[in-house]
Amino acid sequence: MPIAQPGKELHALCHEHHVDMGPSQIALMIEGELSVAPAYACPRPDCFVHYATSHGYFLATKYGQIERDSTPRVTCPRDGQPMYLARTNPEVSSFRLWRCPQCDATRTNSDDLEGGIRQ
């Protein structure tokens, strides 16, 4: 199984706008401790979507408030890592390809329909 390398570039897409997100950093409050974690951020100035390999998608405002309720939670069927949106298909608007940052496994939303993989 390939090992995830720290600093490996992911091509994560914003799940709202389907554009490449850029490397960023986010201050996270985890169990009362503030820590800075590498993350990916949507380039749109009015979009708060972020992705971090350890947390999956979340919305982060500039005030550090984090909102996860409205973000997709797709996890890897092998290791449970939060997967990122890697590809969409302009011709099939409902198509989503998700990729695991840990083991590179992929799944699509049609797998969910056909295979019944639970999230």
CA distance 27 to 4: 22
Residues from 40 through 59 that contact Zn ion (CB under 5 A): 42, 44, 47, 49
Tell me the three state secondary structure of residue 109.
helix
| CA 107 remoteness from chain centre | 13
Number of residues that bind Zn ion (CB under 5 A): 15
Q: Which of 105, 106, 108, 111 binds Zn ion (CB under 5 A)?
A: 105
Query: Closest approach of Cβ 9 to Zn ion, in Å?
Result: 17
The binding track of 73-102 with respect to Zn ion, each residue x by CB under 5 A or -, is: ---x-xx-x------------------x-x
- The kind and range of the H/E element at 110 are helix 109-115
Give CB contacts under 8 A, 24+ apart, made by 88-92.
88/13, 88/18
Binding site for Zn ion (CB under 5 A): 14, 16-17, 42, 44, 47, 49, 76, 78-79, 81, 100, 102-103, 105
